[in-house]
Amino acid sequence: MSVANPDGGIPPAPPVSDSRTFARGLKDLIDGFRDSELWLHLGWTDIRQRYKRSVLGPLWITVATAVTAVAMGLLYGELFGQNIHYFLPYVALGLMFWNFIADSIKEGSVVFSTNEGLIKQLPAPISVHVYRVVWRQLIIFAHNIVIYVVILIVFPQPLNWSALLFFPAMALFVLNAIWVTIVFGVMATRFRDIGQLLTTAVQLVFFLTPIIWSTKTFNGNGQMSERMRLVELNPMYHYLDISRGPLLGQPVAAYHWYVVLACTAVGCTAAMLVMRNYRARVAYWV
């Protein structure tokens, strides 16, 4: 029952806080993106600090990935009887894109807890730290793509205009890295065990994804279709196919793009829900 005020009218309802609205979550993302000077500087500083006082500096990123790619490409190519001219670029690209995905998940899950001081002292949108992680992964990927260029010179691939599909694929990778960092970063800030769980899960998914092995190794006995159905249940297979296929001169089936777009849409929706409901609590959880 309403209580009349002294003037005989019904008192106005108290104002509703807009701190938990999609508009505030979207504003945080936009404001954080506009503050590009900050997260560009922080991301590059992270790379410089990681290799401070080393002789090669950030080039260690390229060296480490190159050694791993060549070693795995030669070893597993011999074990599976693969043509090294095709398999070495296949493994190298797989590792580059996988490292982008895996590091976005693992580093994204600790992005807020490891930046506690900045979050509490710097009046900036929390999305700044999200863009910082994604920008750092792009820098690492840029260092690694040099390996592909060198391998392409040594083992030329039948490239065509479809290689340009790499760019929309990379744009989807960036979008996915953003929502992954938001969702897992906020969840792991509230429940710290999630970070450890994600690290274990990423290691497991690595072996279930065609990175150091190829779907071409499936053969005969009428079991190929059954095995392929199991592989295609892994979303990472589709992410690698849309990004690695064009750079190897291979056609990419449309359904791979549909799966990635669907996963991206679901992930972005989840990220907006997290930004709406828990964005303001991050500073208290860290």
- Domain boundaries of the chain, sorted by first residue: 36-213+223-281
Structure tokens at 170: 């990379």
50-69 pLDDT, tens digit each: 777 766 666 778 888 889 88
163-184 pLDDT, tens digit each: 899 999 999 999 999 999 999 9
CB 189 within 8 A of CB 109: no
Calculate the average pLDDT of the chain. Answer: 84
Minimum mean pLDDT range among 19-23, 86-90, 194-198:
19-23
In the predicted model, is pLDDT for residue 129 greater than 70? yes
In the predicted model, is pLDDT for residue 46 greater than 90? no
> What is the pLDDT at residue 3?
47
Q: Which pTM does this prediction carry?
A: 0.85
> What length does the chain have?
286
CB 123 within 8 A of CB 216: no
pLDDT band of residue 232 (cuts 50, 70, 90) is confident
> What is the pLDDT at residue 124?
82
Q: What one-character DSSP code corresponds to residue 164?
A: G
Mean pLDDT of 255-268: 95
> What is the pLDDT at residue 75?
87
Which range, 34-38, 86-90, 255-259, is most confident?
255-259
In the predicted model, is pLDDT for residue 197 greater than 50? yes
123, burial (CB in 10 Å: exposed 0-12, middle 13-18, buried 19+): exposed
How many angstroms separate the CA atoms of 94 and 254, rounded?
Answer: 20
Bin 134: left if φ > 0, else alpha if -120 < ψ < 50, else beta: alpha
In the predicted model, is pLDDT for residue 161 greater than 80? yes
Mean pLDDT of 208-237: 73
